[in-house]
Amino acid sequence: MSQVLSAKLVSMLETVYPALDCDFLASELLTTMGLSPDQPPPAAHQNHWTESDIVLITYADTVQRDDEKPLVTLRQFLNRCLSDSISAVHILPFFPYSSDDGFSVMDYLAVNESHGNWEDVEAIAQDFKLMADLVINHMSARSRWFENFKRRIDPGKDYFFEGNPKDDLSAVVRPRTSPLLTSVHTEDGERYVWCTFSEDQVDLNFANPQVLIEFAAIVRYYLERGVIIFRLDAVAFLWKEPGTPSIHLQQTHELIKILRLLIEHHSPDAVVITETNVPNRENLTYFGNANEAHVIYNFSLPPLLINTLVTGDCKHLKTWLMSMPPAQMGTTYLNFIASHDGVGMRPTDGLLSEEEKQRLLKTMESFGGKVSFRRTPDGRDQPYEINIALYDALKGTSGNGVDHWQLQRFICAHTVMLALEGIPAFYIHSLLAKENDTERMEHTGRLRSINRSQWQLADLEQELDNPLSHHSKAYQELKRLIAIRRKQPAFHPNATQFTLHLGLKLFGFWRQSMRREQSVFCIHNISDELQQVALSDINLIGTDHWIDLIAGTAISDLSGCITLKPYQSVWLSNRD
């Protein structure tokens, strides 16, 4: 085996498993991954993305047709409607599951029969970069591994993390209000398993290196089936120690480095994304030194952007943007403003005051949203996320309630996302401007179902073909903006970005391409009133020819002003 690869792997393993024979464990992992002795290392600090990369997030069964497996229907919809707009598709967990719409996995190596089969997954991977979840923190209480845990046999006997009710667990950071420990009857008596999210989602025990080897085998299987982007679900909670917060522990960071090392040596163009819905500074640590996640979610963007658009004040969004470090080569941000989960409130810690958070929560509730909670170490229940469809989250303002600017506000939000440093990711229901699905939420009894609708393909196509439908209007305009974005080198995920200072009603930033052949000034009116911008304030170079890429109009008088309608955006570029 490559001595450099071996030495790196052993060094990381020794941090996690100091009492074990890490040379032997490294050999086991490399054999499991099928890495040859002369496997060359991947190029360092290499970007696996360009300005043309756009991600779609969807469940396997979001789009359905009678008498057809949803994965087959999904592929047809993607190829017919989005092949010119997206480069990658994140199919949320498509494995057999027992709860949480897929995130309580029963079998990592199987496809849910009701969705389709591995051949259907591979077919999508042939057409798009495929992103899949590695649900690595926990597994279903109905899985074979957990049944074996209760029977005290392998594989599974020592695969799940156990706690003791007498342990000091007061410092543990929780994302839920449910009990942390769950009592389980086993063949050798009562045991208590650690359940960060629910009693049906039992946390895995990575202190047992065999669990790591199992996941190396799972990763290799996914790679061989066409997965090229790995989303490490809830990875911040991976390593637990009673008496600590049991989040972001050093062993967790080392395990991410190990997985990345194995993945990128197997497939040099593969990408690791960490899903860490935590305060912004904590989230940034998952870049490591460009040796952990290739990409991290920009979790503070959704709540801050929504807050900006419903208050008409971009102060906090601008302050946050100025504080964000440029991602070094080989890393970038995943920008999203809606997902299958709610709008996280923890990422606003340190960015919004408690009064501002409460105002945002009340506004979202007035627009039909719900609030779910987590339990803090001192026993208090704190807002954890807002459950609401993005289209309805932007149906009005905090001061005046519902108004007639909903569609414009919604388009403005996505125009901001498309231009920011990073890779844009569209949740399918936002691309389609879906409203709150209150009926589905009431049917399932789960708040997150409000934004997890399912479409009959015929109904969806009818909506998209109807020029009067707001679904069609949003979809067509977003596709148009995507098409413009994908042609601009200044919108490369790692292109230079600087924040503009244009007051509180105009949110702006400047992007410059990596070869400096293009500059784009992105200016967004985030208020419900007309706003003027003096072109002299943004320093357009007089010798260049400037055009608004969105409207397609030339800017002739650089000493003048431009007027932006409510929620209008401009992308002022010095090249077409």
Cα gap 145→155, rounded to integer Å: 6
Calpha distance 271→110 (Å, rounded) = 22
Q: 401-402 and 396-397 as β-strands: parallel, antiparallel, unpaired?
A: antiparallel
Neighbours of 529 (CB within 10 A): 10
* β-pair type (569-573, 546-548): antiparallel
Place of tokens 């926990």: 138
Closest CA to 419 of 500, 313, 346: 500
Q: What radius of gyration do the chain's Cα atoms show?
A: 24
Q: Which of 233, 313, 341, 392 is catalytic?
A: 233
Nearest one of 562, 29, 536, 567 to 260, comparing CA atoms: 29
- Residue 552 to residue 554: CA distance in whole angstroms: 7
Residue partners of 502: CB distance under 8 A and separation at least 6: 508, 523, 533, 537, 538
b/e code 19-38 from CB counts within 10 Å (16+ = b): eeebeebbebbbebbebeee
Buried b (16+ CB within 10 A) or exposed e, 97-121: bebbbbbbbbebeebbeebbbbebb
**Cα–Cα distance measured from residue 481 to residue 478, given in angstroms and rounded to the nearest whole number:** 5
Identity of the residue numbered 112: N
Judged by DSSP in three states, 274 sits in strand
Q: Is 233 a catalytic residue?
A: yes
C-alpha span between 516 and 20 (Å, rounded): 51
Q: Please, what's the largest Cα pairwise distance for the chain?
A: 82
Q: Distances in Å between the alpha carbon of 103 and those of 135, 265, 428? A: 7, 27, 18
What are the C-alpha distances in Å from 335 to residues 77, 127, 295?
23, 23, 10
**Cβ distance 428 to 451 under 8 Å?**
no
**Residues assigned a catalytic role:** 233
